Amino acid sequence: MKRYLLAASIAALVSLSSAAHATNAAAGLPSASYSDSVDWNGLNAESLFNGASWNAGTGGPQWVQVDLLDTKQITAISYLTNQLPDGHSWQKIFISNTAIGDNWTSLTPSLTFEGDTVANTPISFSFGAISGRYVEIVAYNEGSWTALQTASITAVPEPETYAMMLAGLGLVGAIARRRKAA
């Protein structure tokens, strides 16, 4: 009986702690949450933040933006460059509580990358939490067009997630105590 209780407790703990694990905060939002400077052939900001790619279909600096619907504590952003031909590129990340759109040129980026890249070069930023509702990636590839793949935004889990995890752990502990008394 003790082994069964221990196994059930461990299973509950694993399932509850996975609920607190950070996921892509930009995925699965309403379509109106995504915007971009231009998209090509159905590859838009929504497809980028939901596991596919975005392609501007043109060169020069272009941008994609996601409205996270609420202010979040963002701790990491990652994606892949997608370009042809290989060459120099730069990306600027803006995190703000107001929509950015085409107004990025007058702002100071929260994060930047510049260097020589080839198609499928991973770009990854991990940092102390930056608070914001809107995340915009401005990308420029020296090649013929600007594109990105599989963008992911990691945010600190909401306090409600931790509260649910603690409540679950308390429930498992109460069940264990009650069974031990019996």
The CATH number of the domain holding residue 96 is: 2.60.120.260
Q: How many domains does one find in the chain?
A: 2
Query: What is the extent of the structural domain holding 163?
Result: 1-21+159-182
Tens digits of per-residue pLDDT, 116-167?
A: 999 899 999 999 999 999 999 999 988 778 899 999 999 998 555 555 666 6
pLDDT-derived band of residue 175, with 50, 70 and 90 as boundaries?
confident
pLDDT at 84 over 50: yes
Q: Which residue in 65, 57, 62, 76 sits closest to 126, CA to CA?
A: 76
Regarding whether 59 and 6 lie in a shared domain, the answer is: no
User: Do 66 and 135 reside in the same domain of the chain?
Assistant: yes
Q: What is the pTM of this model?
A: 0.77
Contact 68, 134 (CB under 8 A): yes
Give the model confidence (pLDDT) of 20-63 as tens digits.
456 899 999 999 999 999 999 999 999 999 999 999 988 899 99
The answer on 174 and 111 residing in a single domain is: no
Peptide bond into 85 cis (omega under 30): yes
The answer to whether residues 107 and 65 belong to one domain is yes
Q: Are residues 54 and 4 in the same domain?
A: no
Proportion of the chain in helix, strand, coil states, percent, rounded to 5 = 30, 40, 30
**5 and 55 within one domain:** no
Q: Are residues 14 and 43 in the same domain?
A: no
